[in-house]
Chain A
Amino acid sequence: MAAFLDSLTASRIAAGVSAGDFTAREVAEASLAAIAAREPQVQAFLQVTSELALAAADAVDSARAAGAPLGPLAGVPLAIKDNMNLIGTRTTCASRMLEGYESPYTATCVQRMLDAGCIPMGKANMDEFAFGSSTDSSAFHPTNNPWDLERVPGGSSGGSAAAVAAGEVALSLGSDTGGSIRQPAALCGVVGMKPTYGAVSRYGVVAFGSSLDQVGPFGRTVEDVALAMQALTAAGRDPQDGTSRDCAQDFLAHLDDPVEGRRVGIVPALMEAEGLTPEVRAAVESAARTLADQGAELVEVDLPHLDAAIAAYYVIGPAEAFSNLARFDGIRYGYQEPGCSNLAAQSAKSRAHGFGAEAKRRQMLGAYLLSSGVYDTYYYAAQKARTLITADYASAYEKVDAILMPACPRTAFKHGEISDPTQMYLSDLYTISINIAGNGGVSVPLGLGADSGLPVAAQLVGPAFADRDLLTFARAVERGREDEVAGAAAGAVAPAFAGKGGELA
């Protein structure tokens, strides 16, 4: 059969490899060809790992030839955000500070995807140390939105989202501290999930905000994301991450369960929020109708302390980032300023020249917020806000099974369009509170916006450790769209790149 790789879902690729329709090596080569053809425009990758990819593909093919059982994601090309360690690759976090840094160990989340049979195609671009919502703060190059190259893919996991949206890979891993999976998924028209905090191990993922960070997958369909969630959690809790939990469950078995009689919350204040564009609002309302049409009950719920979420986030996030990034001192590894005569100068200059502006801004903010005298005013207050917001969600989930809201207030913006950092922070309006509360959230594409012609999306959020159920709602929204003509079919890549390189012989 002749087909372009980008027309196949991860689920279909794994099935094809298992059935012998094509080999993992053919898939890897097709993915490399697609990357070669599309990267000049998209620039989603910081590093393409051809050798690792082909070796992993050959291992899958040998296993199959030997009659060994194949993993559920056998032969599926995977992009890995560059803050995740993988032996044999550089882990730069898109920062000069770690340019050329090679980790001696592999992150648990990456290892689990590889154990499931994924082919590691490369390391995806991101905002420096995951600080940002555009991927423009990468120290090496920006990434372009496959739907409009003049626009950003969102961030911080912009490379991971763009690689999937452009059809270079079928799956990717991102990390989400305040929306860094869900916002770029929304801007690139793909599915992106931030699982509940603790569901996926953080071991080996370079930390930004340790109490907020969570790893999750991108895919072009809800089913693909469910497959990835299964791979990430099937082995149970990671003994190397003290905050991880055992969340192993069958993410596929209930994916197509009906939502009839289930309750979906709508937060009126969020639908009226300043900055929410009419086309996004309309799309979220259409998703609500889709769910209602399938028999779900729409229930209004209130989250009274949500206003405090962004403020709390910009205290807790920078405070933890200040602490986590203190280790990058130009002494043991990473960027080292040449010619320094003493320790203090070496550290100060290496940090001054190794970090970009946003990384410095957040660390300085964090250092201030934790200093004695202001700790009570900010950090302690932020923790109290966190408790209240978490309680808000908990009481909402007594009335509903999931909440539907926008993922991002608008569609993708142009490179450089938002220069004020505080305006940039507002693009995470809808995603941040989920990291504060720790619950899971998933961004589901809803076609193209009526005004901009760019991808729009809704976000579904659910109770803690109800991530499997959350995907059932996401699948219901996706299913509702399959019959519609909304400008972009579910699971399709950005049209400019469809079929551009990557033919599967």
Chain B
Amino acid sequence: MKELAEVLKDWEAVIGLEIHTELTALDTKMFCGCKLSHDDEPNANVCPVCLGLPGALPVPNKRAIESIVKAGIATNCQIQKRSMFYRKHYFYPDMAKNFQTTQGPVAFAMHGRLDLEVTGRGAAERPACAFGAAEAESLASASANAEGLSTAMNKQMAEGRAAVGALSAMSGYDTAGLAVPELHEDGSYTVPIRILRIHMEEDAAKMVHVGGEEGRIGGAAESLVDYNRCGTPLIELVTEPDLRTPEEARLFMEKLRRIFLTLGISDCSMEHGSMRCDGNVSLRRRGETSLGTKTELKNLNSFKALHDGLAYEICRQAEVLEEGGTIYQETRHWEPSRKRTQVMRVKETADDYRLFPDPDLAPFDLTDEFIERCRAEIPELPDAKRDRFEADFGIKRADAEQLAGDPDMAAFFERAAAGRSGKEAQTVANLIVNELTGFLKASGADLAASGIAPAQVASLARLLASDAISSNQAHEVFGAMAETGEDPEAIVDARGMRQVSDAGALQPIVDEVLANCPDQAQQYRDGNQKVIGFLVGQCMKASRGTGNPKLFNELLRASLS
């Protein structure tokens, strides 16, 4: 198979995402008062409503509606004042009623947009030909031909056509005014990704197949159903087919996750499935306007899986097409261990879910007051926070972006870096991005449980910025601080780590090292600059780590010149 970079020169990948997010921050389920928790014993949190027992009726969770309205506002969607719940019928034991309560042609939030800043190596995935005016054509033709959920529903349902028609007329929503990505000198670019809709639905139960292969139902001796998850409030975001590279898909997902975390509506765990992503991808020759046949990818349960799964599938489709083969509309399963996608199910015809308005749930009429209250409760969003961190603290944009994306980390940074800017603030940022996140990842603890205080990181940063300790020492001090809870100053003093930055004290060590390493000294004099690193290391060793490595470096160079 060809490499992705090679494939994308000839082929354009058209990618759309469907992202499900469980509203884990809520206390109760979507349509009943059952506790929202997946950790309890199986079927502990169930009632006649979420079990779909005869005669039970749904009552919508108002806080879930608030959550989706916030999600819609934060992703620049239009909030629909009137929308309805629909019943989507399919037969499977994970859905107790054999229909899922979801939304119809009009969702609570429609027609939004997020702008992606694509930088670094990932930006190179989009080939140079895919910028500027050519992209305008590409976007317009892709969305005009896309067969999304809502377009199918609009075709099928007169009320859908009417409602969506009215919306389009109202918003003037089209591709004409849409910005197209322009390549910057540093290889980065910004691309707008449109969001078709965000709708509200209920999650299904969890099934456990015992005795079969790989936990699949085929061949299982028995299948167990845990209805604790059944009825969990779920929001599904559907993008327009505006994504063109796996990197853009990954960045979109990351960005969305940061927004939802900031809103506090979900814990957004891809690992535990509270945020799940399906990718739809098709290929067409560069310059083509009609769309190719798409496949749907499942099991993309990490950012890496999302990227790598799409990258593999793009390369696979290219190979099939280049060999004269046919792409079938099918659902494929990403197998990270084998680095390939496998067919799960072939879709020969569209499923007929017999959608119709749920007669047990009256249409929703959201008041301006309700929407404005939701808007007022939205905290500062990651993009704004990133820009503020960059401007106010003078830290690197990439670090600002990472810090701003995690509400807890962002708050921690603001407290640790309060009153600082420039180098000092950047030192705080470095410690959080490198030391703190590394420690949390390794220990598995979360920030609150770690017991590490912003003031401790601030004092560690002060020690570093004043050259009192080296960055290697800072790593050691951080570890000790996290373990014992002691303050950095105390640790540094107790361990005699305070860095020596006195040239007079360090010169004898330099002289001694040069005397002991005549070969390396000669190599440096002969023009091998790199060997200075070895000599600095020897000095550090001789000083038992207390000497200032920068000063050693200067003294060595001076002595050797």
Q: Which chain A residues have a beta carbon within 8 Å of chain B's beta carbons?
A: 83-85, 91, 93, 98, 101, 103-105, 107, 202-207, 209-211, 239-243, 319-320, 322-323, 326-329, 331-333, 343, 347, 367, 370-373, 375-376, 379-380, 383
Interface presence of B522 (CB below 8 A): no
Question: Are the CB atoms of B362 and A242 closer together than 8 Å?
Answer: yes
A/B interface sample: 27 pairs, CB < 8 A: A105-B48, A107-B55, A203-B55, A203-B57, A204-B56, A206-B55, A207-B57, A207-B360, A239-B59, A240-B59, A241-B57, A242-B57, A242-B58, A326-B89, A326-B97, A327-B54, A329-B98, A333-B53, A343-B217, A347-B91, A370-B355, A372-B156, A373-B156, A375-B157, A375-B356, A379-B356, A380-B158
Is B54's CB under 8 angstroms from A101's CB?
yes
Q: Decide if B524 is an interface residue (CB 8 Å cutoff).
A: no
A103 and B360 within 8 A (CB): no
Q: Is B360 a contact partner of A210 (Cβ separation < 8 A)?
A: yes
Residues of chain A within 8 A of B350, CB atoms compared? 372
Q: Are A370 and B354 in contact (CB under 8 A)?
A: yes
Contact with A along B85-119 (1 / 0, CB 8 A): 00101010100111100000000000000000000
Contacts of B56 in A (CB 8 A): 203-204
With A239-B59, A371-B354, A376-B158 as known contacts, state yes or no: A320 contacts B54, CB within 8 Å. Answer: no
Is B361 in the interface zone, CB < 8 Å from A? Answer: yes
Q: Which residues of A contact B57 (CB under 8 A)?
A: 202-203, 207, 240-243
Out of B59, B89, B93, B157, name the residue touching A323 (CB < 8 Å). B89
Q: In the complex the two chains form, what is the Cα distance from A419 to B51 in whole Å? A: 38
Cross-chain contact B55 with A380 (CB below 8 angstroms): no
B 57-96 to A, binary, CB cutoff 8 A, 1 in contact else 0 = 1111000000000000000000000000001010101001
Smallest CB separation, A175 vs chain B (Å): 11
Q: Give the distance in Å from the alpha carbon of A447 to the alpha carbon of B359 in the complex.
A: 38
Q: How far apart are the CA atoms of A210 and B126 in the complex, in Å?
A: 52
CA distance A331 to B358 in the complex (A): 24
Distance (whole angstroms) from the CB of A337 to the closest CB of chain B: 15
B372 at interface, CB cutoff 8 A: no
Enumerate chain B interface residues (CB-CB to A < 8 A).
48, 51-60, 87, 89, 91, 93, 96-99, 156-159, 217, 350, 352, 354-356, 358-362
Q: A243-B57, A243-B359, A332-B96 are known contacts; what are 6 more A-B pairs with Cβ within 8 Å?
A: A83-B55, A91-B55, A242-B57, A326-B99, A327-B96, A372-B354
Q: A residues within 8 A CB of B48?
A: 103-105
A243 and B89 form a contact (CB under 8 A)? no
**Nearest chain-B residue to A202 (Cβ)?**
B57
CB distance from B107 to the nearest CB of A (A): 19
Closest Cβ of chain A to B268, distance in Å, is 30
- A326 with B91: CB separation less than 8 A: yes
Identify which of A207, A328, A372 contacts B352 (C-beta below 8 A).
Answer: A372
What is the minimal beta-carbon distance from A23 to any residue of chain B, in angstroms? Answer: 33
Q: Which residues of B contact A367 (CB under 8 A)?
A: 354
Nearest CB in chain B to that of A326: its residue: B98
Determine the chain B residues whose CB is within 8 A of the CB of A103 once the complex forms.
48, 53-55
Tell me whether A320 and B359 are in contact in the complex, defined as CB-CB below 8 angstroms, given that A242-B60, A347-B91 are known contacts: yes
A323 lies within 8 A of B99 (CB): yes
Contact B356 A243 (CB under 8 A): no
Q: Report yes or no: B356 in contact with A323, Cβ–Cβ below 8 A.
A: yes
B230 to chain A, nearest CB (A): 12
Tell which of B51, B55, B87, B361 touches A205, judged by Cβ atoms closer than 8 Å: B55
Q: Do the beta carbons of B55 and A243 come within 8 Å of each other? A: no
CA distance A413 to B526 in the complex (A): 118
Q: CA of A206 to CA of B217 in the docked complex: distance in angstroms?
A: 32
Tell whether, in the assembled complex, residue B54 and residue A376 are in contact, meaning their CB atoms are under 8 Å apart: no
CA distance A205 to B350 in the complex (A): 35
**The residue from A241, A320, A327 contacting B98, defined by CB atoms under 8 A apart:** A327
B60: chain A residues within 8 A (beta carbon): 242
The answer to whether A242 touches B55, judged by C-beta atoms less than 8 angstroms apart, is no
**B55 is contacted by which of A85, A333, A371, A373 (Cβ under 8 Å)?**
A85
| Distance in angstroms between the alpha carbons of A339 and B97 in the assembled complex | 24
Q: How far is the CA of A410 from the CA of B48 in the complex (A)?
A: 41
User: In the complex, are the beta carbons of B55 and A204 less than 8 A apart?
Assistant: yes
Which residues in B have their C-beta under 8 angstroms from that of A327? 52, 54, 96-98
Residues of B within 8 A of A383 (CB): 159
CB of A233, distance to nearest CB on chain B (Å)? 17
